[in-house]
A and B are shown apart, each in its own frame.
Chain A
Amino acid sequence: MDGQKSYQRYPTIKIRELKHDYAKFELRNTDASVANALRRVMISEVPTIAIDLVEIEVNSSVLNDEFIAHRLGLIPLTSERAMSMRFSRDCDACDGDGQCEFCSVEFHLRAKCINDNTLDVTSKDLYSSDHTVVPVDFSGDVGFDSGEEQRGITIVKLRKGQELRLRAIARKGIGKDHAKWSPAATVTFMYEPEIHINEEMMETLSLEEKTSVVESSPTKVFGINPHTQQVEVVDPEAYTYDDEVLKKVEAMGKPGLVEIYAKEDSFIFTVESTGAVKASQLVINAIDVLKQKLDAVRLSDETVETDDQFGELGAHMRGG
C-alpha cells in the first residue's frame, strides 16, 4: 500500500431540478458510503419541529385523545428555525420541561361545530404562537389546487355539538426518535447507469428485432429514432437495473449488443420533503448535520488517542 496515497476526493453536486419540496441532483466523485450517509441523515437526523405534547381541554369528537394527539404529531410544521432551536432536553432556559421559546412553540386549537354540516378540523385551525412555525401550507402546490378550497390536513371531523379544544407544544426533534420529525418524504438515490449499444451489432438486427429489444425494458430507456431507425438511449435514468434488456439480448443470441454498467461513483439523488423545510434546505441541513457528526468524531478525545489506529484515515478526518 502506498502510504502517501490520499483518500481525499472532491465530490461535486449538479442540480438538475429544484422545486419547493422536490430536488433532483447528481452527486459525483464519491462512493456509496457518502451518498448513503447523506441519505440517512436526511431521513433521520435533520431536525424539524413537530407537535410533541398535547393537552386536551375538551374533546367530544369521535376520535379519542391519543388518536388526535397522534394525528397532530404527524402534521408537518415549517421548520426553517429548527436548526437554530434547542432540543428541549438540553435547553438551559426551561430546565428541559419544554415550555420556553428557545425550544418549543405553542399551538392552540379551538373548534366547535354549531351547524348541521360536518366541520372539518384541519391543520389550518392550529394557531401558532410563533409565526415562523406554522403548519405547512400546500395550497400553492401543484396537484392540490383542484378548484376546491384547500383546507390543510384534516385532523378530525366534527358534527353538530361536538367540540375540540386543545393546547399543543411543538418541539425540535429528529426522525430517528419518531417519524414525525423526519423532514423527508422520499430520499433516494440510484447509481447512474452507463449504457453502451454496440452499434455495429445493432445494425445487423431487423426493425422488428430492434423494437422487441426496445420493448423488453419495462421502463422507457430505449427508443427507435424515427428517422435513422436506430436504437438509441432515450432516458438512461429510467433504467431500473432490471436486466430485462440484457436477458432479451442474451435470448436473442446477441450477447454484448447492449451493455449496461452502473457508474460506481456517481449518484442521482431524488429528494422530496414533507414541506417542513425546503428540499434544497434539507440537503444543506443534512450536510451540516453530517459535518457536525464528523466534527464530533474528530474532536472527541478518543479519536485523538486512537489516531494511530486510524493512521492515514485519522489525518484525513482531521482535515488533512
Chain B
Amino acid sequence: MVVARCGRPRMEVAGGGCERVKVLKAKGLKGFAVSTSTGEVDKQFLAAPIKSAVDKFQLVPEFLKIRGLVKQHLDSFNFFVKTDIKKIVRANDTVASKFDPSIYLRYKDVWIGKPSIVVDGVTDSLTPQKCRLSDMTYSAPIYVNIEYCNGSYGQNSNPQFKKDVIIGRMPIMLRSSSCVLYGKDEEELAKLGECPLDPGGYFVVKGNEKVILIQEQLSKNRIIIDTDKKGCIQASVMSSTEMTKSKTVIRMEKEKIYLVLNSFTKPVPIMVVMKAMGMEADQEVVQMLGRDPQYASLLLPSIEDSAHEGVYTQQQALEYLEKKRKKSQSRFGKDDGALGVLRDIFIPNIRMRDNNFHLKCVYTVVMLRRMMDAILNKDAMDDKDYVGNKRLELSGQLLSLLFEDLFKSMNDELKFMVEKLLYKNNRSSRFDISQHLVKDSITIGLERALSTGNWDVSRFKMHRKGITQIVTRLSFIGAFGAMTKISPQFEKSRKVSGPRALQPSQWGMLCPCDTPEGEACGLVKNLALMTHVTTDEDEAPITSLCYCLGVEEMSLLSGEELHSPNSFLIILNGLILGKHKRPQLFANGMRTLRRAGKVGDFVSIYVNEKQRCVYIASDGGRVCRPLVIADNGVSRIKHHHMKELKDGIRNFDSFLREGLIEYLDVNEENNALIALYEGEATTETTHIEIEPFTILGVCAGLIPFPHHNQSPRNTYQCAMGKQAMGNIAYNQLNRMDTLIYLLAYPQRPLLTTRTIELVGYDKLGAGQNATVAVMSYSGYDIEDAIVMNKSSLDRGFGRCIVMKKMSAVLQKYEGSCDRFSTPSKSQYDAEKIQILDKDGLASPGEIIRHQDIYLQKECPVDPKTASNTHPSQIKYRTSKQTYKGAEGETPVVDRVALCSDRRNNLCVKFMIRHTRRPEVGDKFSSRHGQKGVCGTIIQQEDFPFSERGICPDLIMNPHGFPSRMTVGKMIELLGSKAGVSCGKFHYGSAFGEPSGHADKVEDISETLVKHGFCYNGKDFLYSGITGTPLQAYIFMGPIYYQKLKHMVLDKMHARGMGPRQLITRQPTEGRSRNGGLRVGEMERDCLIAYGTSNLIYERLMISSDPFEVQVCRKCGLLGYINYQTKTRVCSTCKNGDNMSSMKLPYACKLLFQVNFKSFQVDVCHKLHLLVLKCRLSLFAVLCLNDILS
C-alpha cells in the first residue's frame, strides 16, 4: 500500500503554515522580560533596535561542528558507557551464596577501557580500520574492581580485593568517547586509516559495520488518552521502571469505568480498586475529581457498580480483587495477593513508601479526570502520532538493556557455579569465588545481538528483530541515511494511515521528505538536520528545584485541592510533584534557570493550559532542536554575536551558555511562537528559527530547490540518493567491502545547497554535472529514457568502478592445516592458472576471466588422522577456487589481502575490480526523483550543437516535466548554467530565497543575460545530422546527474541450453544459476486460451525436461529397458509383452514414481489427464507428496 503523504515543505509555510505547529500562549509569556506599565512599552518600542535580519546561518555549521551529524547516537552511547553501566552494576553489585552469606562477591566499580584485543595472551590495541579489514569486533574490555570473600571455613574471612578484572568486551561505537578516534583531527584520523568525513555512530562487529537503528516508541510513564478497538475511551500508562514493566489501562465501558491489568483475569471496577487502595469513601474520590458535578455524574455508575457488588471496605475490595487475580505469579518470589498486584504491577512508576497508596490514588484520579475530560470534550484526546508523545530509543538505551540482562545472567551463573561447588563437600583445591567469573557470556551476547540484530531479552519481555542494520556504503550519503533512520514501533503491515501521515509536530524534528516508498512509507522516518535526541537526566535536583520554586507537595494537599481551579499540577516525567498557583511564573522561572545553565539544557518545561498542568521532562529519547530566543520579538542574537562567531571568539556552546539559543522539545514548542525569519517576528514572538532549511534531513538536503518540486519527487530522490555511485569515503580504496561502487570522475554539483557543504557531499560527491538538452531526439528517449553522447562517455562521463570481494580461508585442523600450493606450468588446466603467482594466489593487476583459478591451495586428505602422522607424511590434495564472472567482462584483480580471521585461520581476500562505461540500459537520475535508463548512445557529430559549440552530454525528453512538476530541476539547470558562465557555484538551499541561501530565478536570468545567454535558459540549436536549425529553442544547461547502481551488466540474462535441477531435470531458476525463464501458470493459461497446443508442448516438454518412459499397456505401470537383453520389461507383470514407450516430462514421471507406485495407479489412465491438464512443477509435486503421505 502506498499512502500519499501530504509532506509539503513549501514556501508558503513561511507565511502562514507555522501556526498549526506552534500554538501561541500569549497570556503571561511576556512575564519576565516586559515591564507592565504602558508608558514604558512605548519607550521600549522606540529603544528597540531596528529590525535587520542577522544571518544566523553560520550557527548551523558551528552547531554541526561541535555536534557532528550523528551526535544522538554518540551521546546515547557515551551516556551508557559513562553513567548507565555504572548504575546497572551498582544496582546488582552483590553476588552472595545462599548457603553461606559470608561468601560473596561485590562489584565496586566498572568502566570501559580502550579498544583492544588479546592475541595469544598479548594485548594489542585496535583501530576500527584494522577490525574492518580482518573481520574483528571493535570492542573494549569492561573492567570491574571487585571485593570478595571466600567464606569462613576456618580460613580468613577478610574481604579481598581485585582490581581491573575484565568481565567481558563491549563493542565500541566509532567516534564515541571510548573510541580511539575520539577528538582526533583530520591528520590523525588519516593516519589511523579513517575517513575524516565519516560520521561514526556505528559499530564494527566481525568486520561488518553495524548501526543500531533509532527505535521509535510511545513514551513511557505518561498518561495517554485514546480509544480502544470498540471505541471506548481509555487512559493508559506504559509503566517502566528498573524493576517492572507493565501496562495499566483504565477504560470506560458502558458508562462504567474499569481497570484493565494483565494480572487480573478480566476488567475490575475502578471504584473497587480505589477502595482496595484505602479510599473507602466514595466522597473522597469525587472530591479529588473536582467540584464540577459533571465528573461526579460520570463516576456515578461506577460507584453504583461497586455498591452493587457489595464492596464497601478495603478488605472486601481486596477479597474481590483476589478472586479476579491470575494465580501464577511467583516472579517476585513472595506472593502478596491483590495488594501486591496493586503495589507492584498497577502503575509501578509511582513509587510508594510503606504501603502508602495515597500517591497512587492521586495518580489514578488524575487518570480518571483526564479520561472524563476526553469524554466531555473530544479535543482532550491524545494523539498517539504526535511526536511529543514519542520517545526515540537509541543505541545506548538498547545496549544497556542488553548489558543488564547479560550482566544479571552472568551473576546468576556465578551464583549457580559457586553453589554447585559448595554443595560438593570434598573440595580438593582452595575455593576462590573470583575465579568463577565467566567473561565470555557478555562478550558473545553483545556481539551476537549486534551482528544479528535480534534483541532477545527475556528478562524484559523484549523480542525484537532487525534492530541493527549494516551501514550501506553504496554512497557517502547512504551511510548517513542509515544513521538518521528511525524504525517504527508498529509492524509495517498495519493498514492504518494515521501513523503514516505527516505530523505537523514533525516540523524541524523529522524530515518531511525522507521516507521509503511502499509498505514502510511514513513509518520509517529520518531525523532532520539539527535534531537532537536527549539522554536521561537526573530527576532529583529538578524535583528539589521545583519545590524551591514554590511547588506545593502532593502529600501535603487535601483531595479537594487536587483539581482546584486556581492552580496547576506540576508533573515531572509523569510523576505528579504537586501544585503551583502561578504556573506561568513557575515555568518562566524554570526556563530562566535553564537558560542560565543551572538546569540541564534539554529539560523541557511545558505549560498545558487545557489540562491545567505544567509538564517538566528530563527523560531520554525526546527530540528537540535549537532555536534563537527572542524577547518581544527581538532576537537575542545581534550582529556582533555573529561577528564574534566568525572571528572564532565564540562557538555554539557559548551561545547556549549565554542564553541566546536554547533547545526546545516538541511539547515546549507549543508554548512558543516561533518566527521563521527575524523580519516576521511580532512582539509576541518568543523564538526565531535558525535556518528554515534545517527542517529537512541529510538526504533531502542534497536536493536543490526542493521547495519548488512536487513533494513525492523529493521523497523519491531521498531513496535514490542512497543508490548513487560516487566516492564513498577518503579511505575507499583501502576498504575490503563485499561490494563497492565508485565513480571514476565524481564532481561536486554546480548547484549546491548549504546542507551539501555541511555534510561534505561537495568533497565526496556522487554524480556529475551533465549538460542536458531538454528535447526529443531519435525516439529512443521515450518513457524517461535518456540519449547519451558517445564522446562524453569516451571522455569519462558516467564511468564507474565496481569492486567485489572474494575470500577464502585456509583452515586449521588438529596437527595440520591447509597450505598454499605452487602452481606448475604442466598442470592439466594450465590455461586457467595464468593469473596465479608463485604462491598460488592471483597476483594484483592481472585480468581475471570467467573460470580462471584465483586461489590454489592444498588441503590434508584426511584431517582427522593428520594429528597422529608426521608432518612430512601428511597427504594433501589440491583444491582450487575459480572465478565465476560474466563472459566478455574483463575484471582485474585489484588487491589481495591476507589476514587472520576470528578463529585464527589464515584468511585471503581478493578485491576484483571492473571498470565500466555506461551502456544502453544503465540507470541514471537527476536529483529530483527523475530516473531514467540510457536509451541509446549517439555519436557527438549527430548531436545538436549551438553556435558557441556547446553540445549536450545527454538529451532528456521534455515529457518528463509536465506530470512530474519538478520545477526545481529547471531552476537547477538555469542556476548551473549561470554558474558555469560566471564561474561561481550557485545555491539552492530549501526555502533559501529570503535568506540568500538560494538564488532567485530573476538573479540567475540576469547572470545568464550578462553572459550572452537567453534569460530563460533556452538556446538556439542546430541539428547535428542536417546542419539546419532546430524548429524550437532548446532548454539546455548542466544538471547534476547521478549514476545509480542498477546496471544492465549485472542484470541481463538469457539462456539457451544450460544447467538443470538435479531432481526434476527442469532448467534451473534465477540469473545466478544461469537459469531459464519460466513459462508460469498464467503464461500457460494464455497459451491454452490461444489454442497453441504445439507451443505448449514445446515449451513445457521439449525445452524443459523430456523423458522417455516404458509403460506396460496391461497394468499401466512404468517399466524399464533391460540394456543387456535389449528388451523392455514391466517389473510388475514380469514380462515385456505389452510394453510401449512414450514421452513424459521427467517431473511427471517423478510424480508417478514417488507417489502413485504404492497406490498401484494406472498410469495410462491418469496420464492424459495430468499431462494435458496441467504441467506440475516440482513445487506442485512436493505439495502432492505432502497430501498423499
Contacts and interface: CB of A to CB of B under 8 A. Distances in A.
Interface stretch (B57-65, B939-947, B1047-1055): B939-947
A219 B845 contact: no
B949 A272 contact: yes
Given A240-B1014, A242-B1020, A244-B1014, A64 B1026 contact: no
A44 B940 contact: yes
A254 B642 CA distance: 55
Contact of B799 (A36, A70, A179, A189): A70
B791 A240 contact: no
A180 B1026 contact: no
Contacts of A219: 1012
Given A39-B941, A188-B948, A218-B1008, A74 B795 contact: yes
Nearest to B947: A190
A32 interface: yes
Interface string B1004-1022: 0000110011110011101
Contacts of A67: 744, 801, 915
Given A241-B1029, A242-B1020, A179 B940 contact: yes
Contacts of B790: 179
Interface in A26-76: 32-33, 35-37, 39-40, 43-44, 56, 59, 62, 64-67, 70, 74
B425 interface: no
Q: Indicate the member of A56, A62, A187 with the most B CB atoms within 10 Å.
A: A187
Nearest to B1010: A218
B1003 to A, nearest CB: 15
Contacts, number: 100
B913 interface: yes
A189 to B, nearest CB: 7
Contacts of B1025: 36
Nearest to B1005: A218
Contact of A188 (B945, B1008, B1029): B945
A280 to B, nearest CB: 17
Given A186-B949, A218-B1013, A242-B1020, A33 B1026 contact: yes
A273 to B, nearest CB: 12
B187 to A, nearest CB: 14
Q: Indicate the member of A56, A62, A67 with the most B CB atoms within 10 Å.
A: A67
Contacts of B733: 62
B845 A218 contact: no
B947 A40 contact: no
Contacts of B432: none
Interface in B408-440: none
A39 B948 contact: no
Given A56-B845, A64-B801, A39 B1012 contact: no
B1012 A65 contact: no
Nearest to B744: A67
B1024 interface: yes
B794 interface: yes
B1033 interface: yes
A36 B801 contact: no
B1020 A66 contact: no
Interface string A224-247: 000000000000001011101000
Instruction: Specify the main secondary structure of chain A where it touches its partner.
Output: mixed
Interface residues of A, number: 40
Contact of A43 (B915, B941, B1013): B941
A282 B337 CA distance: 102
B1026 A65 contact: no
A30 to B, nearest CB: 11
A247 to B, nearest CB: 11
B791 A175 contact: yes
Interface residues of B, number: 40
B852 interface: no
Contact of B845 (A59, A175, A244): A59
Interface in B1012-1065: 1012-1015, 1018-1020, 1022, 1024-1029, 1033
Contact of B1027 (A33, A178, A218, A242): A33
Contacts of A270: 947, 949
B907 interface: no
Given A44-B939, A65-B845, A218-B1009, A188 B892 contact: no
Given A44-B941, A218-B1012, A240-B947, A179 B845 contact: no
Contact of B1033 (A32, A36, A39, A242): A242
Contact of B1012 (A40, A190, A238): A238
Contacts of B278: none
A70 B1008 contact: no
Interface string A158-182: 0000000000000000011011101
A315 to B, nearest CB: 25
A36 B1027 CA distance: 5
A191 interface: yes
A35 B1027 contact: yes
B384 to A, nearest CB: 53
Contacts of A252: none
Contact of A179 (B791, B915, B1028): B791
Nearest to A41: B941
Contacts of B940: 43-44, 175, 179, 182
A70 B892 contact: no
A56 B1013 CA distance: 46
Contacts of A218: 1008-1009, 1012-1015
A262 interface: yes
A191 B1029 contact: yes
Contacts of B845: 56, 59, 65
Interface in B932-983: 939-941, 945-949
Interface in A9-37: 32-33, 35-37
Interface in B906-947: 913, 915, 939-941, 945-947
Given A188-B948, A218-B1013, A241-B1020, A178 B801 contact: no
B1009 A64 contact: no
Nearest to A190: B947
B467 to A, nearest CB: 38
B941 A66 contact: no
Contacts of A40: 941, 1024
Given A74-B795, A241-B1020, A64 B1029 contact: no
A64 B1022 CA distance: 39
Interface string B774-787: 00000000000000
Contact of A187 (B795, B799, B949): B949
A127 to B, nearest CB: 22
Nearest to A176: B939
B198 interface: no
A241 B791 CA distance: 27
B726 to A, nearest CB: 15
Nearest to A32: B1027
A65 B791 contact: no
Nearest to B917: A70
Given A74-B795, A219-B1012, 19 more contacts: A32-B1027, A33-B1026, A35-B1027, A36-B1024, A36-B1027, A44-B941, A64-B913, A66-B801, A67-B801, A74-B796, A178-B794, A180-B794, A188-B949, A189-B947, A240-B946, A240-B947, A240-B1020, A242-B1014, A272-B949
State the 10 A-B residue pairs at the shortest beta-carbon distance, nearest first. A36-B1027, A186-B949, A179-B794, A190-B947, A179-B791, A188-B949, A32-B1027, A40-B941, A241-B1020, A66-B915
Interface of B: 733, 744, 790-792, 794-796, 799, 801, 845, 892, 894, 913, 915, 939-941, 945-949, 1008-1009, 1012-1015, 1018-1020, 1022, 1024-1029, 1033
16 contacts: A32-B1026, A32-B1027, A37-B1027, A56-B845, A64-B894, A65-B845, A67-B801, A67-B915, A70-B744, A70-B796, A70-B915, A178-B794, A179-B790, A219-B1012, A242-B1014, A272-B949
Interface of A: 32-33, 35-37, 39-40, 43-44, 56, 59, 62, 64-67, 70, 74, 175-176, 178-180, 182, 186-191, 218-219, 238, 240-242, 244, 262, 270, 272
